[in-house]
Amino acid sequence: MKEKIQALRAQIEQLKAANQEELENLRIKYLSKKGEITELFNDFRNVPNEQKREIGQLLNELKNMAQEKINTLRTMFEQSQCAKEETDLSRTADPVALGTRHPLSLVREEIIDIFSRIGFTVAEGPEVDDDWHVFGALNFPPEHPARDMQDTFFVEKNPDIMLRTHTSSVQSRVMTTQQPPIRVLCPGRVYRNEAISARAHCFFHQVEGLYVDKNVSFADLKQALLYFAREMFGADTQIRLRPSYFPFTEPSAEMDISCNLCGGKGCSFCKHTGWVEILGCGMVDPNVLEACGIDSRVYTGYAFGMGIERITNLKYQVNDLRLFSENDVRFLRQFEHA
């Protein structure tokens, strides 16, 4: 009896089954009513009394071991069955929800792309900046009314630290850290303390351009801006420059383009003038060059600044600024193929 138990133990330890059916046959072979182990139990009554205790224990162990082995094999099969189902390679793939690029990013990239073709590189500066970079270096005298033109969010007073109100602050940074020739584009977010409406927001985006070198002229400025307008809005686009005032440029101008909605005939968008304003510009004021450590007798420069929202409104006919920051996917999805 003992030897039989030993032999069965050895067999069961080695048990293998290729599939569920083979496994079931093994169960029948050992554990069913006529199974080999069950038969040993039947023979148990013939075991001499003095061995019953020992053999009984061995038999029970054998039965438990066989049961466990079969259970383990069964769960192995079940798991591999599940795994097979999960990796059904014939199934169609789950759709991946793709995001879209924000319209302001699309337009910012396009502006950068256009100017990079005429030699401009990108420079960036901080959104929280000091008074000197935002106003002082740019020729805003302390009590100058021009400072009131910008409703500023102050972070600290005395010394004044603020959220920049324009990307012209990056001009001051670039000119104090680099010597001409300088030809940079400074895109970024700016902040002004304005009530939020369809036409105004407390934060928006600008791109600043700055070119400083020997013999830079107003004609160079005009040519660069004409090139930009035609690349951005189409080859028929006309520009016009109107005299204006900014503390950091002299002379200063504002640039209009022929309304790209009505082709210059006049519509409600251009208030029936045929023209829409898109940017401010001018020759860098010598005071600004000097404040930043650039010799204004040797170098001249031009600068311009435009609102990315404004360009986007024109290009894609968006008529409410709030749409840009509300993250409404119905709005954003419209730029999927832009």
What's the rounded Cα separation, in Å, for the pair 45 and 41?
8
Instruction: Based on the shown chain and the rule CB under 6 A, indicate whether residue 311 belongs to the binding site for ligand DAH.
Output: no
Which position among 125, 187, 188, 282 is part of the footprint of ligand DAH (CB under 6 A)?
Answer: 282
Q: What is the H or E stretch that residue 330 is in?
A: helix 329-332
Place of tokens 């170098």: 299
Both structure tokens of 131: 């008074």
Residue from 69, 280, 300, 301 touching ligand DAH (CB under 6 A): that is: 280
Nearer to ligand DAH, 59 or 185 (CB): 185
Tokens of 172: 């001051």
Please, are residues 102 and 338 in contact by the beta-carbon 8 Å criterion? no
Site string for ligand DAH, 192-231 (x = CB under 6 A): ----------------x-----------------------
> What number of residues does the chain have?
338
User: Is there binding between residue 191 and ligand DAH (CB under 6 A)?
Assistant: no
Among 281, 311, 318, 321, binds ligand DAH (CB under 6 A): 281
In the complex, which residue's CB is closest to ligand DAH? 305
d(Cα 85, Cα 79) in Å, to the nearest integer?
Answer: 10
CB of residue 246 to ligand DAH, shortest distance in Å: 4
- From candidates 204, 228, 233, 246, binder to ligand DAH by CB under 6 A: 246
Place of tokens 């101008």: 253
d(CA 209, CA 182): 10
Count CA atoms within 13 Å of residue 208 on its CB side: 24
The reply on whether position 301 binds ligand DAH by CB under 6 A is no
Interface residue with ligand DAH among 37, 139, 152, 168 (CB under 6 A) is: 168
> 321, 204 in Cβ contact below 8 A?
yes
Q: Based on CB atoms, which residue is closest to ligand DAH, 168 or 172? A: 168
Q: Which residues have CB under 8 Å from 7's CB, separation 6+?
A: none
Asked if residue 188 binds ligand DAH (CB under 6 A), the reply is no
The stretch near ligand DAH (CB under 6 A) out of 91-99, 224-232, 279-287, 308-316 is: 279-287
Q: Cis ω on the peptide bond leading into residue 181 (within 30° of 0)? A: yes
Decide if 190 contacts 165 (C-beta within 8 A): yes
130 binds ligand DAH (CB under 6 A): no
The answer to whether the CB of 290 falls within 8 A of the CB of 255 is no
Among 305, 311, 318, 324, binds ligand DAH (CB under 6 A): 305
Regarding 180 and contact with ligand DAH (CB under 6 A), the answer is: no
Nearer to ligand DAH, 174 or 303 (CB): 303
Euclidean distance between CA atoms 289 and 207, whole angstroms:
20
Minimum CB distance to ligand DAH, residue 248 (Å): 6
Q: Which pair of tokens denotes residue 57?
A: 């224990």
* 249 forms part of the interface with ligand DAH (CB under 6 A): yes
Beta strand spans in the chain (E): 121-122, 128-130, 154-156, 161-163, 182-191, 203-213, 239-246, 249-258, 275-284, 300-307
- Near ligand DAH by CB under 6 A, which window of 48-56, 92-100, 229-237, 275-283? 275-283
Q: Based on CB atoms, which residue is closest to ligand DAH, 59 or 284?
A: 284
Size of the site for ligand DAH (CB under 6 A): 11
Q: Is 162 in the site for ligand DAH (CB under 6 A)?
A: no
Q: Which C-beta is closer to ligand DAH: that of 58 or that of 241? A: 241
Residues near ligand DAH (CB under 6 A) are 166, 168, 208, 246, 249, 280-282, 303-305
